[in-house]
């Protein structure tokens, strides 16, 4: 499928780089871009692509949702727009392979929400984060109130959402919104090295670890422990587990086959 606003590079073995490409609008998310993201995520070949990186073209990761499109929505249309965006981001969160956000610039509103739907966030020193929706008379609509609270705690999430303030990358790192901050020129190299490190791990184990983390999000402690034990046991039915442990005992590097 050809995309108008997405660019995809899968020239590196096991790693895909998806770039949101609408620099004239700072990569603002309209229905078309959300639809393209939905189609792309639904078609990712997770057998051959084992890590997905998402970034933005130009000086913005994603500057938010398209305000021009939202300005004339009524309540019912607003519900459908928010529901669709939230569904697309949940697909990204639930994608069975790790997804890394390479946040190169503005990550505001829907852009911050997109970054939060990814497993790991690495930010340029020039990146800026925020949920400024209250300044437009709305609230975050793509699951921002939920994920921000989970990542940084309710108190900080409420401060950021109630004030609509922007924060720079160093503050995002301090509060736990991002994993790492690097110089702009080092962003993609850092993220690619992280992806390459993930590629050395057993693919099925990584997928099951992600499922366990995501699915125990809202469970009780006993439920979460039981879920983890279930996925832990499934690893022992894989050839990769046999190879990984044999390699360790044999003091050699493991060769995983995703089996």
pLDDT at 65: 87
What's the pTM? 0.96
**Topology adopted by domain 6-199:** 2-enoyl-CoA Hydratase; Chain A, domain 1 (3.90.226)
pLDDT at 208: 97
Which residues carry out catalysis? 113, 133
Other C-beta atoms lying within 10 Å of the C-beta of residue 153: 12
Beta bridge partners of 9: 17
pLDDT at 223: 96
Domain spans in the chain, listed from the N-terminal domain onward? 6-199, 203-249
Domain 203-249 class? mainly alpha
Burial, 148: exposed, middle or buried (Cβ in 10 Å; 0-12, 13-18, 19+)?
buried
Residues ≥6 apart with Cβ < 8 Å to 169: 103, 123, 124, 125, 126, 127, 128, 129, 178, 181
- Could you read off the pLDDT tens digit of each residue along the chain, which spans 259 residues? 789 999 999 999 999 999 999 999 999 999 999 999 999 999 999 999 999 999 999 999 999 888 999 999 999 999 999 999 999 999 999 999 999 999 999 999 999 999 999 999 999 999 999 999 999 999 999 999 999 999 999 999 999 999 999 999 999 999 999 999 999 999 999 999 999 999 999 999 999 999 999 999 889 999 999 999 999 999 999 999 999 999 999 999 999 999 9
pLDDT at 218: 87
Phi, psi dihedral angles at 168 (to 5 degrees): -85, 170
pLDDT at 241: 97
Beta bridge partners of 16: 52
């Amino acid at each position: 499928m050809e995309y108008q606003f997405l660019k995809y590079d899968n020239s590196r073995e096991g790693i895909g780089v998806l770039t949101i490409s609408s620099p004239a609008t700072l990569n603002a998310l309209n229905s078309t871009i959300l639809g393209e993201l939905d189609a792309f995520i639904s078609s990712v070949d997770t057998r051959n692509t084992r890590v997905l990186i998402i970034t933005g073209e130009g000086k913005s990761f994603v500057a938010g949702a398209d305000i021009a499109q939202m300005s004339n929505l009524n309540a019912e249309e607003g519900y459908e727009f928010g529901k669709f965006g939230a569904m697309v981001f949940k697909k990204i969160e639930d994608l069975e392979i790790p997804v890394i956000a390479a946040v190169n610039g503005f990550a505001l509103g829907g852009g911050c929400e997109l970054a939060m739907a990814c497993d790991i966030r690495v930010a340029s020193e020039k990146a800026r984060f925020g949920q400024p929706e209250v300044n437009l008379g709305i609230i975050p609509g793509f699951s921002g109130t939920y994920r921000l609270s989970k990542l940084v705690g309710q108190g900080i999430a409420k401060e950021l959402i109630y004030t609509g303030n922007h924060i720079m990358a160093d503050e995002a790192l301090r509060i736990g919104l991002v994993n790492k901050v690097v110089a702009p020129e080092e962003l993609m190299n850092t993220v690619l090295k992280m992806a390459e490190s993930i590629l050395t791990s057993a693919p099925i184990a990584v997928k099951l670890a992600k499922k366990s983390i995501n699915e125990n999000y809202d469970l009780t402690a006993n439920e979460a422990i039981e879920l983890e034990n279930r996925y832990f046991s499934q690893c022992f039915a894989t050839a990769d587990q046999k190879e990984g442990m044999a390699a360790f005992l044999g003091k050699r590097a493991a060769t995983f086959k995703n089996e």
